Amino acid sequence: METVESVISGLKLLADAGIKKGVERFGIPSEKALGIKTPELRKIAKSIKKNHTLALQLWQTDIHEAKVLASMVGDPKQMTTEQMDAWVADMYSWDVCDQCCGNLFVYTPFWKSKVNEWIPSKHEFTRRAGIVLIAEATMHQKNNVTDDELRLMLQKAAAVANDPRNFIKKAISWAMRQVGKKRPHLTVEVIELARKLPATDDKTSKWIASDVIRELEKRRP
């Protein structure tokens, strides 16, 4: 049975100073990181399998890779809505946010409600998590989310398209592009939604619109 102490000890053995030095280029605080590549963490997660108690303990550490690993070994069937809220409140980087959304949150029964709850948040990574869940759902919940639900979610994301923060605008673009690519019959609708964004004459909205339209126009039916 893995303990949080044994897992952390194992992570420290894999620490790479070169990787640690480079993570700041990706917006990850190096003081929190050991310097371990994500594929290595996936190997560890595969050997541990799902262990929700361990995931909660790993999340409580101040180690970047431990938090990413927590998202991989956490059990979506045991994850509570309160735990999800607590985790997003702790987030400090886009990759922890995205790993949690793609590995864990999107598989919980609460993911749809969290899109609606989190996008209005002023906290950068809570808002990003709500938006990223839309993108992740097009891949991991494609049979469990309707076109109408995705339309409403994108409208929610579009409502904060004037948020100038880099990790928000990129998340909105990603979510819109994913819906347009994964649901080809919605491509034109997403393009039209993107065209309406710059109506506010806001430079962030214009950037999102340009990014979305540039990619989806190539896929227009």
Using a cut of 0.85, tell me whether the model's pTM lies above it: yes
Domain locations in the chain?
4-158
Mean local confidence (pLDDT), 166-175: 98
pLDDT digits (tens, 9 = 90+) for 38-53: 999 999 999 999 999 9
Q: Could you please report the per-residue DSSP string of 144-201?
A: SS-HHHHHHHHHHHHTTTT---HHHHHHHHHHHHHHHHH-GGGHHHHHHHHHHGGGG-
* Inter-residue contact 133 to 178 (CB < 8 Å): no
The amino acid occupying position 191 is I
pLDDT digits (tens, 9 = 90+) for 127-150: 999 999 999 999 999 999 999 999
Residue 82: enclosing H or E segment and its boundaries? helix 81-90
Number of H helices, E strands in the chain: 13, 0
* CA dist., res. 111 & res. 102, Å (int): 11
| pLDDT of res. 200 | 67
1: pLDDT strictly greater than 80? no
